[in-house]
């Protein structure tokens, strides 16, 4: 018998955004005109996860969209991101009501940290208590957290099967020795998706070459005497962007959080609560699907 405890941590916003934009041409509305696309696709994903994986411990983590320490450190951080669509803003309270009815813990980021940091901290604390942790997200930043016991779960989407990313997958994909080196790789080359500057003039090819030789960005920046010509001049002039980028990219894994197993325990759903919210949202088919799950777990 396998007594290994598994914890599933869901990074909510990327999945909700995917649900909203992927079905933009075929949005679903209630008879009262409420756009339920972000809600129904996230809820369907949640129910499928509960059925397929049968998790005993789970939580959903939301970004609070407050000013973070990264934004205070670097004003351009994520500055190109568009404002949250009104439909998603309206969807969040409904998703929270659904999670409450399913009796699944949800957490918001706090104290100037992002959801990544909350998830990273919980994952490390759980790993230290003997859990196998599955971080369910579309955000590649989480690759840096992968260990033997922390894995990234990329959910199935539009016919594509789920992917579980482990150490060997990251080694192959990024040509690095261990997942944490992703931080150094992106610190050198930057990451346009988050407005991380990196060191100007260093692309992916050179970043991988320098990382293989020096192991991390600090060793590289302390060895500029090895470089020549324009590259040397450029790196020495922009060292501060390398250090800044590493600070922005690194997920914090030690924020104050009291990890207690029972908080994450997936209880039997509140069927009356599910009926109420699903009736309001006119989720007829999902209600039937959920009932099958409920009967197995009541």
Q: Are 132 and 4 in contact (CB under 8 A)?
A: yes
* pTM of structure: 0.94
CATH top class, domain 5-173+252-297: alpha beta
Domain boundaries, the chain: 5-173+252-297, 175-249
**pLDDT mean for each 10 residues of the chain (298 residues):** 82 91 83 93 94 95 90 89 89 97 96 96 97 96 98 89 96 95 96 92 93 96 92 93 97 95 93 96 93 76
Burial class (CB in 10 A: 0-12, 13-18, 19+), 67: exposed
Residues near 5 by Cβ (< 8 Å), separated by ≥ 6?
Answer: 56, 57, 129, 130, 131, 132, 261
- Quote the pLDDT of residue 3: 64
- Quote the pLDDT of residue 294: 76
Fold of 175-249: DNA polymerase; domain 1 (1.10.150)
Asked whether the domain spanning 175-249 has the same topology as the one spanning 5-173+252-297, the reply is no
- Quote the pLDDT of residue 25: 78
- Quote the pLDDT of residue 2: 53
Distance of CA 208 to the CA centre of its chain: 24
């Amino acid at each position: 018998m396998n007594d290994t405890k598994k914890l599933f941590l869901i990074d909510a916003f990327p999945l909700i955004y995917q649900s909203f934009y992927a079905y933009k041409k075929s949005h679903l509305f209630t008879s009262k005109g409420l756009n339920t696309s972000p809600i129904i696709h996230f809820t369907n994903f949640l129910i499928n996860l509960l059925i397929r994986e049968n998790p005993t411990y789970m939580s959903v983590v939301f970004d609070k969209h407050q000013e973070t320490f990264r934004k205070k450190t670097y004003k351009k951080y994520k500055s190109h991101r568009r404002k949250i669509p009104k439909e998603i803003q309206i969807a969040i309270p409904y998703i929270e009501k659904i999670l409450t009815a399913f009796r699944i813990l949800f957490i918001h980021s706090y104290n100037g940290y992002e959801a990544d940091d909350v998830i990273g901290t919980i994952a490390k604390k759980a790993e230290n208590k003997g859990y196998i942790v599955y971080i369910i997200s579309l955000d590649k930043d989480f690759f840096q957290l992968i260990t033997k016991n922390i894995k990234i779960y990329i959910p199935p989407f539009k016919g594509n099967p789920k992917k579980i990313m482990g150490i060997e997958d990251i080694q192959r994909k990024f040509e690095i020795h261990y997942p944490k080196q992703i931080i150094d790789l992106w610190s050198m080359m930057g990451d346009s998706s988050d407005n991380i500057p990196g060191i100007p003039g260093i692309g992916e090819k050179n970043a991988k070459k320098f990382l293989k030789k020096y192991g991390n960005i600090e060793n590289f920046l302390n060895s500029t005497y090895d470089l020549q010509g324009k590259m040397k001049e450029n790196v020495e002039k922009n060292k501060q962007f390398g250090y800044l980028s590493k600070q922005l990219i690194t997920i914090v894994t030690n924020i104050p959080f009291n990890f207690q197993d029972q908080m994450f325990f997936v209880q039997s759903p509140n069927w009356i609560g599910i009926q109420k919210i699903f009736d309001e949202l006119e989720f007829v088919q999902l209600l039937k699907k959920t009932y099958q799950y409920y009967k197995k777990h009541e």
